[in-house]
Structure 1
Amino acid sequence: MDIPLSDEAWQRVSHLLPHDAKQRFGHQARDPRDVLNAILWVITQNEKWHRLPTYFPPSQTCYIKWLQWERAGLMARILDKLQVCEG
């Protein structure tokens, strides 16, 4: 699987991650595609969150989203649809 997500790969999972563009706590909500790209980078590179390259959203943001999506069972569904193997 290529990172960043291709348009075709994003189409397979975008319905699972609706984008709420409302501001929260004075900040614009991050694009879920950008966050997912970061999460997939960590998973496929078998890296630590603090090593996330700066062109991704902040590592704390991505880690929190990963936790939320993992607890909701979304990450398993996303990884299955994208056929990604963890670490």
Structure 2
Amino acid sequence: MDRDHFWLSDRQFARLEPHLPTDTRGKPRVDDRRVISGIIHVLLSGCRWKDAPAVYGPRKTLYNRFRRWAAKGVWSNLFHALATAGGPPAEILIDSSAVKAHRCASGGKGGSAARPSAAPVADARPKSTP
């Protein structure tokens, strides 16, 4: 395996193959394993479709297959099938995300300084009555 390129192993592709569409018409499809490996390479590396290495086949094929399968829901069905194949996970990972908020969203007027409780004042006798 070349270190610069991503290739699906036999075992990985065997798990994907039953979920791939088989209703093709016209010209025979380019090798699914090679194209999926190319799509994964582009998504992992962050390169542009047109910069994908030539070993994966025509770059236009990678892009078209990715877009067409996304429109047909192939990727969603594939990810769902793979996620549910092993049953519920033994461990759950929680992703920590940083969410930007406006500086005014952190508290009321005057910032977040500690303020004394109003309970003692509420229980006291009113000062305005004779």
Same fold (TM over 0.5): yes
2:51 equivalent to 1:48: no
TM-score of the aligned structures, taking structure 2 as reference length = 0.51
Name which structure has the greater RCO, CA cutoff 8 Å, separation 6+.
1
Query: Which segments of structure 1 move beyond 4 Å, counting only runs of 4 or more?
Result: 18-23
Give ranges in structure 1 of 5+ residues lacking alignment: 83-87
- Across the aligned residues of Structure 1 and Structure 2, the Cα RMSD in angstroms comes to 2.6
Question: Which is higher, the Rg of structure 1 or of structure 2?
Answer: 2
Q: What aligned pairs does 1:1-87 form with structure 2 within 5 A after superposition?
A: 3-18=6-21, 24=27, 28-79=28-79, 81=82
Q: Deviations over 1:15-58 (max 9, x none)?
A: 1225689862xxx5301111101100011111110110011110
Equivalent position amino acid for 1:12 in 2 = R
Unaligned runs of 5+ in 2: 84-130
* Sequence identity percentage: 24
Greater strand proportion: 1
The TM-score with structure 1 as length reference comes to 0.72
* Separation in 2, partners of 1:79, 1:51: 26
Question: For residues 22 and 41 of structure 2, what CA distance do their matches in structure 1 show?
Answer: 20
Tell me how far apart the structure 2 counterparts of residues 19 and 59 of structure 1 sit (CA, whole Å): 22
- Code of the residue aligned with 2:29 in structure 1: it is A
